[in-house]
């Protein structure tokens, strides 16, 4: 059975990193952007990281510029923005594509394990869905991720156990992480 540990990604300096290095940890894998309306998610993500990292928790941050060009900077510019504005300390990897023919295989796998089920109900969510569909129509059946700050929760065995769209309250994400760490 395939797990996230079977994947190798690039760190922000371009070096290969086997995700098997995170074996035995609870992971939250996130595609991010520095110019998005959801960018403030960095605050609760960093708070969660500080609270849980000593309990075997890691956040893996993958910047992506595929959603309305909201992460246009270089890896170094993005990293500097995140550390200075939000004080992030969790690992940040190279900027990637999460959709289309050049989608990073990790994100294609994550999305196949936990497909998109919607942003929620209400006008705000409907508007985001319309905008996301317009943005992602070029990717066709390879539109794995619908928007920035999609989060995947991975258990200590490397299995994808939950997907959180950016519209999910970060308190619910924190509760799911805490529950998984307490297993």
Phi, psi of 148 (to 5 degrees): -60, 150
Structure tokens at 12: 């922000």
**CA separation (Å) from 165 to 151, 152, 183?**
6, 9, 23
> How many domains does the structure of the chain reveal?
1
Catalytic residue among 19, 36, 143, 162: 36
Residue found under tokens 């690039």? 10
Q: What is the pLDDT of residues 137-182, one digit of tens each?
A: 888 888 899 999 999 999 999 999 999 999 999 999 999 999 999 9
Predicted TM-score of the model (pTM)? 0.94
If you average pLDDT over each of 29-38, 98-107, 112-121, which comes out highest?
A: 98-107
Q: Which CATH number belongs to the domain containing residue 15 in this structure? A: 3.40.30.10
101-113 average pLDDT score: 96
Q: What range defines the domain where residue 151 resides?
A: 4-181
Examine the pLDDT at 88 and tell me if it is beyond 90. Answer: yes
108-127 average pLDDT score: 87
Active site residue 36: yes
Strands of the chain (E only): list them. 8-10, 16-18, 26-32, 57-63, 151-154, 160-164
Predicted pLDDT of residue 161: 98
């Amino acid at each position: 059975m395939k797990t996230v540990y079977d994947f190798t990604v690039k760190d922000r300096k371009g070096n290969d990193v086997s995700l098997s290095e995170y074996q035995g940890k609870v992971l939250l894998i996130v595609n991010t952007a520095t110019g998005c309306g959801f960018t403030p998610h960095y605050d609760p993500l960093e708070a969660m990281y500080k609270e849980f990292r000593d309990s075997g928790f890691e956040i893996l941050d993958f910047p992506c510029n595929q959603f309305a060009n909201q992460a246009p900077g270089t890896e170094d510019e993005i990293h500097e923005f995140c550390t200075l504005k939000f004080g992030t300390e969790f690992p940040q990897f190279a900027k990637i594509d999460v959709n289309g023919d050049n989608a990073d295989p990790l994100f294609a796998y994550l999305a196949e394990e936990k497909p998109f089920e919607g942003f929620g109900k209400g006008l705000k969510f409907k508007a985001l869905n319309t905008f996301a569909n317009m943005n992602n129509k070029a990717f066709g059946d390879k539109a794995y991720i619908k928007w920035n700050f999609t989060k995947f929760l991975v258990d200590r065995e490397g299995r994808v156990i939950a997907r959180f769209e950016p519209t999910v309250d970060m308190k619910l994400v924190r509760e799911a992480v805490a529950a998984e760490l307490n297993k």
